[in-house]
Amino acid sequence: MTDTTPQVIPFQSKRGESLRGKMIPLAKITPCLDANYLVQGWLGKGGLSVLYGPSNSGKTFVAVDLAAHVASGTAWRGCKIKQGPVIYVAAEGGGGIRNRVSAIKQARADLLNDAEFSLLPTNLDLHEAGDAMALCEAMPTEKAALVVIDTMARCMGSGDENSARDVAQFVINLDAIRERTGAHVLVVHHSGKNTEAGARGSSALRAAVDTEIAISDGQISCVKQRDMETPDRQFFSLETVTLGEDRDGDPVTSAIVIPADAPKPKRKRLSGQAEVGMQALTDALDKQGTYIGGPDYPEARKCVSLDTWRKACEQHGLTTGGSESAQRVAFGRVRDKLIEANEIRIFQDQVWSVNNES
């Protein structure tokens, strides 16, 4: 009789034994239903992310603000937080980072009051494994929720951020930190000369991270999200906080991040016939405009009839010569172009300017 019992091959290495223990048979594969986030919609628990932007874009202010919310468990811009210890590696900025944290302590005591937040103001060599393990050993707690590396350039040691091989090694060491501490690792990085091209250096970093966040012109934009839906863009401004006085009696200030409204879209400068048509409407509104009540018309804004506007366009020389039919065609083109440019509104036979519309 033939023995059909599967032969168990002995392990030749501890690594093989470790991998065997991590394998999940098909019958035991079940969906992950628990919300596995650190910052809802933005950062995954135990994940890897990069937050980048040009110099003086406020990226470190945003990173510190985000870290403070994680340490306190306070919702960040309406997004829930899984509270936990935070380690902020400040390898760039000198005393500036201490002032930024101090500004939050002073202006937002609710964020850093008794929070588990530790600042490590030194550079690391995370191109080599030694400093990655040393960082884990130096942490005040065995586990952490968030580790911020600010910046990548100051923590690459002898590694080249433009080398895919060196960046891959950098990522391997970040993964080791994540595996040992359970923390989400957020890397603060610079954008390149072409800010639209993303973070500076090798694309190996973008391929490795779960989340990519871009900081530019007072905007916080999630440009890559591996396992969560991409969140809405956020807007911010910096509010000055006075920390005290220096030896000369001059005020020492820093800033904190505060939410801001989305900027109004910039209107394109009009030219050609569209500019003539808009000037004709402005003049007609000043001379002949009337206020029309009702929910379909703007409050405290003058309107004129389309015919009045058309005649004003003729007086402004919208077309030179030509038949009445050609003039009406030219007027129709200008009308449609100004509607498309969001410069005017029309309801029934009345038209008004959108500029400073109530």
Question: Residue 5's pLDDT is what?
Answer: 61
Residue 264 confidence (pLDDT) above 80: no
pLDDT of residue 358: 43
The CATH number linked to 238 is 3.40.50.300
Q: Do 215 and 316 reside in the same domain of the chain?
A: no
Q: Does residue 280 sit in the same domain as residue 245?
A: no
Count the domains in the chain: 2
Whether residue 310 lies inside any domain: the answer is yes
Residue 188 has pLDDT above 50, yes or no: yes
Task: Examine the pLDDT at 124 and tell me if it is beyond 80.
Answer: yes
pLDDT of residue 354: 84
236 and 278 assigned to the same domain: no
More confident residue, 197 or 199: 199
The per-residue pLDDT for range 67-109, each reduced to its tens digit, is 999 999 999 999 999 999 999 999 986 678 999 999 999 999 8
Q: Please indicate, yes or no, if residue 246 is contained in any of the structural domains.
A: yes
Residue 9 domain-assigned (yes or no): no
Last-in-domain residue among 238, 259, 280: 259
Top-confidence residue, 271 or 267: 271
SS (H, E, C) the chain: CCCCCCCCCCCCCHHHHHHHHHCCCHHHCCCCCCCCEEECCCEECCCEEEEEECCCCCHHHHHHHHHHHHHHCCCECCECECCCCEEEEECCCCHHHHHHHHHHHHHCHHHHCCCCEEEECCCCECCCHHHHHHHHHHCCCCCCCEEEEECCHHHECCCCCCCHHHHHHHHHHHHHHHHHHCCEEEEEEEECCCHHHCECCCCHHHHHCCEEEEEECCEEEEEEECCCCCCCCEEEEEEEEEEEECCCCCEEEEEEEEECCCCCCCCCCCCHHHHHHHHHHHHHHHHHCEECCCCCCCCCCEEEEHHHHHHHHHHCCCCCCCCHHHHHHHHHHHHHHHHHCCCEEEECCEEEECCCCC
Query: Do 113 and 245 have their domain in common?
Result: yes
In a domain, 227, yes or no: yes
Q: What is the CATH number of the domain that holds 322?
A: 1.10.10
pLDDT at 93: 67
Same domain, 225 and 284: no
Of residues 144 and 17, more confidence is placed in 144
| Residue span of the structural domain in which 66 resides | 34-259
Q: Is the pLDDT of residue 292 over 90?
A: no
pLDDT band at 34, cuts 50/70/90? Answer: confident
